[in-house]
Amino acid sequence: MSCPVDRRAALRDRRAWALLQTVAWTNMLPTHLRTDSLEVAVARTFDDQHPCKLCKVVAAGKRSEKLAEFPTLAKQLEFTIFAHSFVFAPPTQFYLQIEPRSPSDSALRTPPVPPPRSILG
């Protein structure tokens, strides 16, 4: 029976490699999108035939630790398009805030003199 500490260390190492691989894919996709369509860029990012430098480091690290590769299910990611409908819902209650006005407020809001006339007109 293995020690729980060893299991935690192994799990931590797997998570570290998974995080690095995710960073690699995150950098690869925009790079491929500069020259290819979305479909081609996604295919090149996630296939094993076009690895970047970080992908090679991750693969070498996994081999050196003799970790199992990600399951084939995780390698075959499927992206589906969902049609979301977003509807704005009005508030159930609405209160109009009335600003209190006094005679002095209206006097302050009106211009004290008529606007200037155009010099050329």
Q: Which amino acid is at 101?
A: R
Q: What is the pLDDT of residue 69?
A: 46
Contacts of 29 by beta carbon, 8 Å cutoff, 6+ apart: 41, 42, 45
pLDDT, one tens digit for every residue, the chain (121 residues):
445 555 666 667 778 888 889 999 999 999 999 999 999 999 999 988 989 999 998 888 888 776 454 455 555 666 666 667 777 777 788 778 777 666 666 656 666 677 777 776 5
| Residue 41 · residue 29 · CB < 8 Å | yes
Which pLDDT belongs to residue 1? 46
Rounded Cα distance between 41 and 33, Å, is: 5
